[in-house]
Structure 1
Amino acid sequence: MIQKAFRNYISNFQGFSREIWILTLITFINRAGTMVLPFLSKYLHEDLHFSLSQVGTIMVFFGIGSMLGSWLGGKLSDTIGFYKIMIFSLLVSGLMFFGLRYITSFEGLCIGIFLLMTVADMFRPAMFVSIGAYAKPENRTRALTLVRLAINLGFAAGPALGGLIIMSIGYKGLFWVDGVTCILAILIFWLKVKEKKKSTYLDKEHPGDVLVESVFKDKIYWLFLASTLIVGIMFFQLFTTIPIYHREQFGLTELQTGLLLTLNGVLVFFLEMPIVNYIEKNKKDKLKVIILGCFLMTISLFLMLVNTWAGVLIIMMLFMTFAEMFNFPFSNAFALSRAPKHQQGRYMAIFTMTYSLAHILSAKIGMTIIDNKKYGYQGNWLFMGILGLVGTLIGVYVYYLVKKEKANVKIS
């Protein structure tokens, strides 16, 4: 029984090209190596003794750099190719990590982190475009899911390794490890994966590559991004307001909060690929799955209104995790499928920028509402839940517009 279940699970990972597995490996190395990021706020506040206000300002530069990098990475992927952008991004950001450890002034760090994130986040849209080039059309969503698993595993391993490095050689060691892993990842990619001059990606069934001349004229895509932004704002509460709420409302320790986040990671690791595989095999409509994910995430935030029983935090985490598994991989796939030929980079750039913006807005909106004694945490959960309902309705409208678009193509 166990052997059969194991074989069924392993079968979800079959059928990928060699290049996709190498992309997955370097993504894992890169994300596991990005140890500075989870500890950046603590490093700035505790090691360099900046005020919380100064830390907040530096993190704004972090977010703006991330957005600019995403846009540049996508635009340049369309003009000079994703392969060159991926090599440039990881190699140069690796060298920049080495240099960042020597910058200790407030102004210097604002500029340094802005430049670092601009270069580092050029990698993300280029990586998404590379999946479109190296994955078979029938495996594309599963390939995106595989890379997402590598990102999740990397983020799970990174903070633990980072904590050990801090305890042994201090914060400065993180910058060296980050730099080395970036360079190691891109060396593996350069040695093992050959540049593909032209993407084989074409979604013949989708009208996007015929009807849409520019990403800025694609009304359906921008409405989809609005829903994606809302999902991102809700999801990033998990890393901004919710850990603080755990301690202040229920007295949870860092370990208990960590275990709840581990529950999320374990479920995603074991269930996401089988779920995606089942949905793909049964040809379920991707947009319907995306809408379901948004709605489940909305429920998870409304559940936070129950503030007298700590067990609700586990139920909330289950809803949030399944919402993530339904929404994120299929949102990636829809964004890529929407892109016309030779515009995948631009589309994926704006898609990744949406999450960067969501990260900034999630913390700012959540903290501002909570800081207002009139509203507090309950006001934040209510606001986020209502926002989620709006996102779900936008998703339903996008589904209606896509059906109408396909019907018009068939008639013509």
Structure 2
Amino acid sequence: MPNLKLRWLALSTLISSLGMSFIWPLTSVYLHNQLHISLTTIGVVLLINSVTSVLGSSLGGILYDRFNPFYLLIYSVSATFVILCGLSIWHSWPFFSFWLGLLGFCSGWNIALLNSISTSIRNISSKRVFNVLYLFQNLGVVIGSSLVGYFYSISVTLLFAVAAVLFLGLIVVILVNFQGINSSRSIDHQAHLHKKVVKLPINNQIFLSILFIALLIIWVMYQQWTSNVSVYMTELGFPLSKYSILWTINAGGIVLIQLILSYLNQYNFTSQEQIIFGISSLTISFVVLIFANQYIGFVIAMLLLTLGEATAFPAIPALVNRLSSRNAKGKYQGAVNAWASAGRALGPLIGGIIIETTSYIWLFKIAVILYIVVFILVLSCLKILNGKLTYFD
């Protein structure tokens, strides 16, 4: 895709992430404190948001392989803008839950399309492309999370309106800079009409299936940090501000690690090595959590978690890109976000069940066991299928 520069894709990812980070951090607080909705109902609302995100990711990825991605992206970003305008005007109950469900669908759709479009940049290694996108995605989260409290203190209407303006700006960026994907995809589409569609080799299908299952488990356990670790820390006597500082460390750490990874790209670390290293670091973070009773223990655990996600998470879509045929890039990039979204949706529920039937410590022990299983499964598959996997451009 010669007409599309990585910087415009990175900017689009930044704006999308920044806009959505004005919404998700305050959902529970706004619904509970302002609209006086029960925590159980809030849980259902968040679950619906995650489910619609899975649907949006899957559908967006599949349609990318069949239709012009320029128009698909314009439609989805425009729909997001309209939804945010509606949310700015009608954000009482139950309108808020309705808009949030639609936002989940559009958010999943947008992420799947941006990731799929990134696979068409062939003059830069896919590993570097996805590292850059992950960096800008987290920059959006850092900036958005730091501003959301300020705007929220002024007016929730202002907050949603600012998010809408950001997506209006994103529409302009896409209209001006993404026209190149029109002709590129048209050429690809015409080529597919005149030749047999490449069927994904069975070894690739096996490994990708295992990788998606691993991604689901990884996210189910990762979500314990966003849902249950905060409660665990407060029960140990730590103020909530201490927990918030951990996420500041996480955000800053991700940006720093991505910059380091960009430098280390010259040493040709493979996506497989990044994934294995990342899973190892995630495993150790939960080992540390089992024994953490001082704040420094939680800081160390968060540093390990950050190191794990910053190395593994961008490497997974990069590897999926190389293992998926050109006519199915969107399908499998959509699957990456769909399986991750499913893990995010199931994580709090599964964690709550484990805690209620056992304890927080057992939750962390089960996380360690599952991560070890994932580590062995992925590593074994890479060893067994070594030399048997087919890599595509």
| TM-score of the two chains, using structure 2 as the length reference | 0.89
Mapped pair 1:79 → 2:66: yes
Quote the Cα distance in structure 1 between the aligned partners of 2:312 and 2:107.
25
CA shift for structure 1 position 231: 1.8
- The more displaced of 220-229 and 108-117 is 108-117
Q: Is the 8 A contact 2:3 2:180 kept in 1?
A: no
Q: Unaligned regions of 5+ residues in structure 2, if any?
A: 189-196
**Corresponding letter in the other structure for 1:235:** Y
* TM-score when normalising by structure 1: 0.85
Matched, 1:396 2:384: no
Q: Residue 128 of structure 1 contacts residue 348 of structure 1 at CA under 8 Å; is this kept in 2?
A: yes
C-alpha contact (below 8 Å) 2:277/2:308 kept by paired residues: yes
Query: In the TM superposition, what is the alpha-carbon distance from 1:277 to its structure 2 partner?
Result: 4.1
- Give distance in 1, aligned partners of 2:219 and 2:293: 27
Name the residue aligned to 1:127. Answer: 114
Aligned equivalents of 2:386, 2:263: Cα separation in 1: 23
* Residue 104 (str. 1) matches residue 89 (str. 2): no
- Which of 242, 266, 278 is residue 281 of structure 1 equivalent to? 266
Amino acid at match of 2:241: L
Which residue of the other structure, out of 334, 341, 351, is the alignment partner of 2:336?
351
Identity of aligned residues (%): 21
User: Which residue does the alignment assign to 2:80?
Assistant: 93
Question: Which residue, 271, 275, 296 being the options, matches 2:281?
Answer: 296
Judge which range, 149-158 or 217-226, deviates more: 217-226
Q: Structure 1 pair 177/128, CA: closer, same or farther in 2 (3 Å)?
A: same
In the TM superposition, residue 364 of structure 1 has moved relative to its aligned partner by 0.9
Query: What SS is found at the alignment partner of 2:290?
Result: coil
SS in 2 for 1:80: coil
Equivalent position amino acid for 1:402 in 2: L
Cross-structure match for 1:60 = 47
Q: Residues 87-236 of structure 1 correspond to what in structure 2 (within 5 A)? A: 87-101=74-88, 102-106=90-94, 108-138=95-125, 140-169=126-155, 171-196=156-181, 197-198=183-184, 212=200, 218-236=205-223
Distance 2:140 2:263 in 1: 22
Paired position in structure 2 for 1:380: 363
RMSD: 2.4
Q: Quote the Cα distance in structure 2 between the aligned partners of 1:175 and 1:135.
A: 37
Aligned match of 1:11 = none
CA distance in 1, matches of 2:3, 2:25: 32
Give 3-state SS (helix, strand or coil) of 2:120's partner. Answer: helix
Contact 2:81 2:164 in 1 (8 A): yes
Separation in structure 1 between the aligned mates of residue 384 and residue 3 of structure 2, nearest angstrom:
34
Q: Of 22, 41, 45, which aligns to 2:8?
A: 22
Secondary structure at the aligned position of 1:85 is classed as helix
Contact kept, 8 Å, 1:74 with 1:122, in 2: the verdict is: yes
Q: Secondary structure at the match of 2:134?
A: helix
Write the letter of the residue equivalent to 2:338. Answer: M
Q: Quick check: 2:277–2:311 contact (8 Å CA) kept in 1?
A: yes
Question: What amino acid maps onto 2:68 in structure 1?
Answer: G
CA contact (8 A) 1:287 1:395 kept: no
In 2, the alpha carbon distance for the partners of 1:105 and 1:282 equals 53
Counterpart Cα distance in 2 of 1:382 and 1:33: 36
1:74·1:348 contact (CA, 8 Å) conserved in 2? Answer: yes
1:322, 1:210 → 2: CA distance?
36
Letter in 2 for 1:371: E
Residue type at the aligned position of 1:130: I
Deviation of the 1:211 alpha carbon: 5.6
The runs of at least 4 aligned residues of structure 1 exceeding 4 Å deviation read none
SS in 1 for 2:327: coil
Following TM superposition, by how much is the alpha carbon of 1:230 offset from its aligned partner in structure 2, in angstroms?
A: 1.8
What number of residue pairs does the alignment pair up?
378
**Partners in 1 of 2:157 and 2:35 — Cα distance?**
11
Structure 1 residues 285 and 193 mapped into 2: Cα distance closer, same or farther (>3 Å)?
closer
Letter in 2 for 1:104: S
SS across alignment from 1:79: coil
Asked if structure 1 preserves the Cα contact closer than 8 Å seen for 2:292 and 2:298, the reply is no
Give the partner amino acid of 2:162.
V
